[in-house]
Amino acid sequence: MSQRTLIGGLQAVQSALRYDPTRAIEAWVDRRRRDARLVKLREQLEGAGCPVQESDAKALARLLPDVSHQGVVLAYQGASPRGDADLAAHLDRLSHAPFLLILDQVQDPHNLGACLRTADAAGVDAVIAPRDRAVGLTPVVHRVAAGAAEAMPFYQVTNLARCLRGLKDRGIWLTGAADEAAEPLSRANFTGPLALALGAEGKGLRRLTREHCDTLVAIPMAGHVESLNVSVAAGVLLFEAVRQRSAFMAAPG
């Protein structure tokens, strides 16, 4: 069964429409705003057959109290929350070596949104997170992800350790990011079936998650800070993987 999601912000609503306009249920716009971007977006909503209601800024803020709505809120028919069985079916359908991102108990919706956006840009096949003690696809996530929350396959599994064992049984190499890891990023091998695992803000990967990883790698840090934000670290690791995988595919023979 699908779920109804409220999405706020010009870019986030535009991205949702671009991904699948048939899922737009109803929209509310600030009647006092007449700027060109909002006028154009209203035309796009109406052109997609989405009913548009005029409202005011305070009413929109009540609909999405934690999101800067920028004068527009969209009710969007999102996909049902996807879990273990959906992930297995998704992996079965892949005709190439899997490229996955695992987020271990990431709770900040801004970080999840940024990770989804980066994962989409890097061509990741799926993002996996535990169902408990981790953020799901909230309105803030949709806004920050700028369309990637709709496009990127996102799975919330009931038991992350069991999921990791299942990935290893499929021949997928698990690499975790850890500040104290002995192997630097420059020596990591990200070709072949790969799942990159990153931990929660401040805490990093949990012990059990680390133990299931085949290897741990560290991002070199030259400044005074000890670690990167999880979404920034995801970008560094994912695009190093993109670089290696592209070079591997282009290599002769």
- In 3D space, the residue among 83, 113, 116 whose CA is nearest the CA of residue 101 turns out to be 116
Q: What is the dihedral of CA 28, 68, 143, 20, to 10 degrees?
A: 10
Asked which of 21, 52, 78 is the last residue of a domain, the reply is 78
Identify whether residues 119 and 204 lie together within a single domain.
Answer: yes
Give the mean pLDDT of 184-194: 92
Residue 14: which CATH number?
Answer: 3.30.1330.30
Cβ atoms of 147 and 135 within 8 Å: the answer is: no
Residue 252 has pLDDT above 70, yes or no: no
The answer to whether 136 is a known ligand-binding residue is no
Describe the strand order of the beta sheet including 215-218 as a list of residue ranges: 154-157, 126-130, 99-104, 194-199, 173-177, 215-218, 183-184
Identify whether residues 131 and 192 lie together within a single domain.
Answer: yes
Q: What is the dihedral of CA 99, 100, 101, 103, to 10 degrees?
A: -160
Query: What's the pLDDT score for residue 79?
Result: 64
pLDDT digits (tens, 9 = 90+) for 115-162: 999 999 999 999 999 999 898 888 788 888 888 888 899 999 999 999
Asked which of 36, 57, 78 is the last residue of a domain, the reply is 78
128 φψ region: left (φ > 0), alpha (ψ -120 to 50), beta (else): beta
Identify whether residues 129 and 229 lie together within a single domain.
Answer: yes
The answer to whether 228 is a known ligand-binding residue is yes
Of the listed ranges 48-57, 58-67, 77-86, 93-102, the one predicted with least confidence? 77-86
Neighbours of 94 (CB within 10 A): 14
Number of domains forming the structure of the chain: 2
Residue 2 has pLDDT above 60, yes or no: no
Name the one residue in this structure whose structure tokens are 């680390």: 210
Give the mean pLDDT of 88-103: 97
By the 10 Å C-beta count (0-12 exposed, 13-18 middle, 19+ buried), 131 is classed as middle
Identify whether residues 159 and 188 lie together within a single domain.
Answer: yes
Average pLDDT, the chain: 90
Domain encompassing residue 8: 3-78
Name the one residue in this structure whose structure tokens are 């970080």: 111
Asked which of 18, 50, 78 is the last residue of a domain, the reply is 78
Q: Which of the residue ranges 14-28, 78-92, 158-172 has the most confident prediction, judged by mean pLDDT?
A: 158-172
Residue 146: which CATH number?
Answer: 3.40.1280.10
Query: What's the pLDDT score for residue 1?
Result: 45
Identify whether residues 41 and 109 lie together within a single domain.
Answer: no
Q: For the chain, give the percent of residues with pLDDT over 70.
A: 94
Identify whether residues 88 and 68 lie together within a single domain.
Answer: no
Q: What is the pTM of this model?
A: 0.80
How far is 91 from 95, CA to CA, in rounded Å? 9
The answer to whether 219 is a known ligand-binding residue is yes
Identify whether residues 162 and 204 lie together within a single domain.
Answer: yes
